[in-house]
Amino acid sequence: MWQDNNAVHQTVAIDPFNITNVFVNYTLKGSSQLQNTRIRFAINNLTDNHAITGVTPASVNSNLPAAGDIVQLMSGRSVSVSVTIGYSPR
């Protein structure tokens, strides 16, 4: 992937990266009114990788790393739980 520096296209190379996410879903079964309710547990960025996803160069005249460059990093690990209610009245 390449990042522009506003004056020249494809100036700064961004190294490739991998991200690992894990999802576990459970659906309630049976004959209750809440059948088909789904519970989901998710972990995003399991390995807590903080790869560089973007760079805003400090200089438009050079593509060399500089002290004023602004670097965007991938978000750290996050965990979430969600419930989707499946309501089935009789």
* 60 assigned to some structural domain: yes
* 56 assigned to some structural domain: yes
Q: What is the pLDDT of residues 5-47, one digit of tens each?
A: 776 777 788 899 999 999 999 998 888 888 889 999 999 999 9
Q: What is the pLDDT of residues 37-67, one digit of tens each?
A: 999 999 999 999 999 998 888 877 777 788 8
CA–CA dist 47, 49 (Å, integer): 5
CA–CA dist 75, 52 (Å, integer): 10
Torsion of CA 57, 70, 43, 47, to 10 degrees: 80
* 89 assigned to some structural domain: no
Domain that holds residue 10: 2-84
What is this structure's pTM?
A: 0.70
